A and B are shown apart, each in its own frame.
Chain A
Amino acid sequence: MHMSDALLSLPVAGAFLAISTAALAFSAKQAASDPRAQPARMGVLGAFVFAAQMINFSIPGTGSSGHFAGGTLLALLIGPWAGALVIASVLAVQALFFADGGLLAWGANVFNMGLIGCLVAVPLVYRGLAGPAPSKRRRRAAIMAASLTACVGGALAVTLQTTASGLTDLPFNRFALLMIPVHAAIGVAEGLITIAVLEQLPAWAQDQGAPQPREGRRVAGVALTALVVAGLVSWLASARPDGLEYSVARMGVEPASLRGGLNQRLRQWQSQHALLPNYDFKPTPVASSGVASAMAGAAPAQPWPKVNAGTSVAGLGGAVVVALLALGLGGLASWWARRRARA
């Protein structure tokens, strides 16, 4: 479920980075006064989840595999605030050291695997179903429901983020149909592992009973805010045209305020001087020659997002030259560094 930077557009990645950072800052403040958030416990559980996430188990009948996410276990053992912090630290180590999950995608990954599991699934689903003094069977059912919520909720969030970014061509409904059954199966496995591990722990290490005073209300507030903001942001940051552009295009007219006069001149100036008008290279003579001229007729009339000479393989030869230059520069720098080291 680890998202890489390549799957997210800049607005979606930035928005989730901001949401997760804000939620983690609030969690850090709450955890500082939470007796369950003991540093040694958090450290060991972080190392444990980190190791457990590296072991993939295959999901029978789907041909895919999944891994333990750990949000439910952490929130049950050290509370939701510390649990979210531990997952965030695990994801930071994985992104930095193992290239598992991107740097900018860290916020989205914390949201999908940490915030949904620790701040939604356990405090709202588990506590709601288990009640204050659950029997063994009821506790198991509540853990299973919380694990399923965490995994399916995380998968749904991945689908929304990917679709809003517009970099893959999978339609939302098809992608969701692909993701949700697989992650429901992973959720069952996660629930079984969580139950098995919790029941093998001695009493002193297990769930420390009732949540902190007013914890439910605070968690619900943070979770609801994060989910609403994330939903709004995903919609607003979508790669599709924004509401105004869409409405104007549907009406087939250009607003009077944008026609003629100063506006027209400003737009003309902008298109001439912007470094990358419409996130694209400016038209150059190169674009109409070589590979580019062969491509010119290939693109359909109004593709969206468009594939054009500036943004695709028009400069294939140029790209190879630049890449070779980069490698050459690297060689030169390496020689210089070795020379300095010898000196």
Chain B
Amino acid sequence: MNAGAWSGLQELDRLAAGHSWLHRLDPLVKLLLGLGFAVAVVSVPKYALPSLAPLLMVPVLMAALAGFEPLPLLARAWPAAGVALMLGAFNPLLDPQRVDVAGCQVSAGWLSLAVMLAKALLVAGMALVLVASSGFARLADSLGSLGAPHIFVQQLQLLWRYAGLLAEESDRLKRARDLRDPLARARGPRLAARLIGGLLARSLARAERIHQAMLCRGFRGSLPGAALRPWGPQDWAALAGGCGLIGACRFLPLVPWAQQALERIQP
């Protein structure tokens, strides 16, 4: 486990310890809102860039209500745009239609590329806001209450916990290698393969020991996550309000209305 990834996971867990209105909502509500938002974004047609503008409101509002800084979240969402950029990079070359954008003739492929990037960033940003306000354990528990198989929920929780174990073991191995070969003379693919195999074997052995100890202490296959309470009026209101907001942003012609308002204001 590289240090950056592990510190990233810990940072998101730290954000989940907040006490905002969004943090107090049931994680299942946030998960359902996230899926609804993804459906709304993905349903936007290929060239409809303005239709995505109102949808920006949803993650922005959520992030603001949770008290998150928008820029670090945007930076974390950026990898989502990578694949979209790679596969959409040919659109400007392959889409021969010409359109006029603010007086400039451009290939329609630029539009579709922009739509792809915007979609990727919007969905990734929303997912990060929701996860950062829920925490991993609670989110996994809520997946269980949604009907996900027990073994899958347990796997998610153990992956989370053993990621730390792997990071510790990898740190130890790296230190041992650096102490034995400070000048990096004997490094190569063969040593790397041995180290990786060793890391996996050590981590597996330690995980088995921990698991045996857990079984001895009465573990019966479910980890104690944050206890999920029944939904209160606040959760139902958030679900209804969130769905309403997503629906309004997607289906109401907000952009033409804004355009009309702009034209009325202009002398």
Least distance between A192 CB and chain B CB atoms (Å)? 9
Q: A102-B80, A291-B102 are in contact. Are A333 and B65 (CB under 8 A)?
A: yes
Number of B positions contacting A (CB below 8 A): 120
Q: A202-B201, A337-B21 are in contact. Are A47 and B163 (CB under 8 A)?
A: yes
Give chain B interface residues in 50-75, CB to chain A under 8 Å.
50-54, 56-57, 60-61, 63-67, 70
Check: B178 CB closer than 8 A to any chain A CB.
no
Q: Which residue of A lies closest to B57 (CB)?
A: A326
Check: A299 CB closer than 8 A to any chain B CB.
yes
Q: Scan B1-25; emit 1 where CB is below 8 A from any A CB, else 0.
A: 1100100110010000001110000
CA distance A303 to B112 in the complex (A): 14
In the complex, the answer to whether B61 meets A330 with C-beta atoms within 8 Å is yes
In the complex, the answer to whether B197 meets A197 with C-beta atoms within 8 Å is yes
In the complex, the answer to whether A47 meets B83 with C-beta atoms within 8 Å is no
In the complex, the answer to whether B156 meets A93 with C-beta atoms within 8 Å is yes
Least distance between B69 CB and chain A CB atoms (Å)? 10
Q: Which residues of A have CB within 8 Å of B45?
A: 279-280, 305, 311
Which stretch from B120-128, B180-188, B232-240 is at the chain A interface? B120-128
In the complex, the answer to whether A5 meets B42 with C-beta atoms within 8 Å is yes
CA distance A279 to B42 in the complex (A): 12
CA distance A2 to B20 in the complex (A): 33
Check: A323 CB closer than 8 A to any chain B CB.
yes
Q: Which residue of B lies closest to A306 (CB)?
A: B47
Q: Scan A313-328; emit 1 where CB is below 8 A from any B CB, else 0.
A: 1111111111101110
Q: Which residues of A have CB within 8 Å of B8?
A: 97-98
Check: B98 CB closer than 8 A to any chain A CB.
yes
Q: Name B residues whose Cβ lies closer than 8 Å to a Cβ of A.
A: 1-2, 5, 8-9, 12, 19-21, 34-35, 38-39, 41-43, 45-54, 56-57, 60-61, 63-67, 70, 76-81, 83-84, 87-88, 90-91, 94-95, 97-103, 105, 108-109, 111-112, 115-120, 123-125, 127-128, 131, 136, 139, 149-152, 154-156, 158-163, 165-166, 170, 189, 193-194, 196-201, 203-204, 207-208, 210-211, 221, 251, 253-263
Query: Can you pick out 16 interface pairs between chain A and chain B where the beta carbons lie within 8 Å of each other?
Result: A4-B120, A4-B123, A5-B120, A6-B116, A9-B42, A44-B204, A45-B204, A99-B76, A100-B80, A102-B123, A167-B116, A193-B196, A314-B259, A325-B57, A336-B65, A337-B20
